[in-house]
Homo-oligomer: A and B are copies of this chain.
Amino acid sequence: MALPSDYSGQACSLARSLEVVGERWTLLIVRDAFFGVRRFGDFASHLKIPRAVLAERLKALTTEGVLLRVRADGHRDEYELSEKGQSLWPVIRSLTVWGDNNYAPDGPRRIFRHATDDGELDPTGRCSCCGEIVEASETDIVPGPGVAPPRSEDDLVTVALAERHRLLRPLRSSDNATDHHLDL
């Protein structure tokens, strides 16, 4: 998002954020990274965006340090959220909640639960069970009543997300470095 370079300094932290994550598709890519998507091809097939646009967005997010480009299996590049990227979770969560509240007549498509005690997160991100504000790494996403029924043409990411899944954990078990090392 190009903004005037002389945009008044007094209140431009939101503007600066939007310069980094306000481009079309960018927050959807970041959301997918929270879901555990790591491979270029999986982002492309799940988001159904042109590969050139995806490549440009991934490059920009890597340059800004939101995503880290890591080597997997000794040959394939993958993308994972940095600490800076993970701190975007409240943004992703609150925009998703707002969409669910206003544009999901059948109920939320995804329900967020605290992994440690299964408490559902309230709209502020607080666990209804223990009262804590829950980090992404301790959040499970569970299909909600508004989720679409499975279709034969669903991509791998959509299929994987039809089951409960811990945020930030790779959706493909082979992408999990720990599992991989255990396999050796």
Enumerate chain A interface residues (CB-CB to B < 8 A): 1-2, 4, 7-18, 20-22, 24, 27-28, 31, 35, 46, 48, 84, 87-88, 90-92, 94-104, 108-110, 123-126, 133, 143, 146-148, 154-155, 158, 161-162
Contact = CB atoms under 8 A, between A and B. Distances in A.
How many copies of this chain are found per oligomer?
A: 2
B31 A27 contact: no
A13 B110 contact: yes
Closest CB pairs A-B (n = 3): A13-B99, A9-B148, A17-B99
Contacts of A46: 8
Given A13-B103, A124-B125, 9 more contacts: A9-B147, A10-B148, A11-B109, A13-B98, A13-B146, A16-B99, A20-B103, A84-B102, A90-B98
Contact of A1 (B21, B24, B48): B24
Contacts of A99: 12-17
A61 B17 CA distance: 21
B27 A109 contact: no
B109 A87 contact: no
Contacts of A148: 8-10
15 contacts: A8-B148, A10-B143, A10-B147, A11-B110, A12-B99, A12-B109, A13-B96, A13-B103, A13-B109, A16-B102, A17-B95, A20-B103, A87-B98, A87-B102, A90-B124
A31 B123 CA distance: 20
Contacts of A126: 133
A40 B14 CA distance: 20
Contact of A104 (B13, B102, B123, B133): B13
Given A10-B147, A46-B8, A124-B125, A16 B103 contact: yes
A14 B31 contact: yes
